[in-house]
Amino acid sequence: MADDSGTKSMSIIVTKGSLDWAYPPMILSTTAAAMGLNVTLFFTFYGLTLLLKDPDLKMSPLGNPAMKMPMMGGHMGMPNFMSMIPGVDAGASAMMKDMMKKKGVASFAELRSLALESEVRMIACQMTMDLFEYTTDDMIPGIEIGGAATYIEVATQSDINLFI
Amino acid sequence: MADQTLDAKGLNCPLPILKAKKALTPMPAGSTLEVLATDPGAVKDFAAFSRTTGHELIEQSVDGNVYRFVLRRKA
């Protein structure tokens, strides 16, 4: 939140929990914190799973025509029907994680712990926790539980508000 | 010669920035941190990091595919 010292601030509503969508909020929040901003993340709906102790992040080529993986010197997309075959989504997720490792991209777990370390405030949506039957025991320590009003208060005091 | 060197070679965005910030935090004001990186995006990013945080970017060079930045920790 903005304060008297002129410190800038940013908030992000995190609504998605797949491997690819997990990155933007973590990259932006850790970088903003490193640049001296106060950062708050509000995790709701599928974004909430990013706060689980051991999230098994996956992605799917289903309905994602832009997902083209580098292959044999070119880039290859995957037809939608492929996603129905057992193991294809898991394979695509493993391939993405492997590619990230090779290219020096941080793992999600690493970015999340860097975010916590740099005091990024993480708020889990109470309603989503009730809806999907999660308890604080399922979540990593160091987070807060809150609702829409908690987020709106933060947003009114933030210089940057994003929805991802 | 910088007071401290951070090897961020092989790391991709945003890790060089995050590691630089982590290294700078405990350093005394006015001391210098040399960062070595291979991420071409680091050129624009360290300039932006410097402008936003006030840690001055006092030197910048490139040798082959290695970018070198020297930051002076702000007071």
Tens-place pLDDT, residues A17-60? 999 999 999 999 999 999 999 999 999 999 999 999 999 899 99
Contacts of B49 in chain A (CB under 8 A): 34-35
Judge whether residue A2 has pLDDT over 70.
Answer: no
Q: What are phi and psi of B74, to 5 degrees?
A: -75, 160
CA dihedral of residues B13, B16, B18, B24 (deg, nearest 10): -160
Q: How far is residue A130's CA from residue A69's CA, in Å, rounded to a whole number? A: 37
pLDDT at A4: 67
pLDDT for A70: 87
> Among the CATH numbers 3.30.110.40, 3.40.449.10, 2.30.30.140, 1.10.3210.10, which is that of B4-72?
3.30.110.40
Which residues in chain B have their CB less than 8 angstroms from residue A30's CB? Answer: 14, 18
User: What's the CATH code, domain A9-55+69-163?
Assistant: 3.40.1260.10
For chain A, what is the mean pLDDT? Answer: 93
Check residues B44 and A68 and name the one with the higher pLDDT: B44
Active site residues of B: 13
Q: Is the per-residue pLDDT at A3 higher than 70?
A: no
Q: Are B49 and A35 inside 8 Å of each other by CB? A: yes
| pLDDT for the residue numbered A26 | 97
pLDDT of the residue at A116? 96
Distance CA B33, CA A92 (A): 39
Rounded Cα gap, residues A41 and A122, in angstroms: 5
Q: What is the pLDDT of residue A155?
A: 97
Instruction: Identify the band that residue A6 occupies on the pLDDT scale cut at 50, 70 and 90.
Output: confident
- All structural domains of chain A with their residue ranges: 9-55+69-163
Residue B23: phi, psi to the nearest 5? -70, -35
- Whether A82 shows a pLDDT value over 70: the answer reads yes
Pick from A145, A160, A122, A125: which is nearest to A2 by CA? A160
What are A69-80's pLDDT values in tens digits? 888 999 988 889
Q: How far apart are CA A128 and CA A70, in angstroms?
A: 36
Structure tokens, A9: 């601030």
pLDDT of A71 reads 86
Supply the pTM of this predicted model.
Answer: 0.92
pLDDT tens by residue, B20-67: 999 999 999 999 999 999 999 999 999 999 999 999 999 999 999 999
Chain A residues 57-116 with CB within 8 Å of chain B: 103-106, 114
Strands (E), chain B: 4-8, 32-37, 56-63, 66-72
The distance of A69 to chain B (nearest Cα, Å) reads: 18
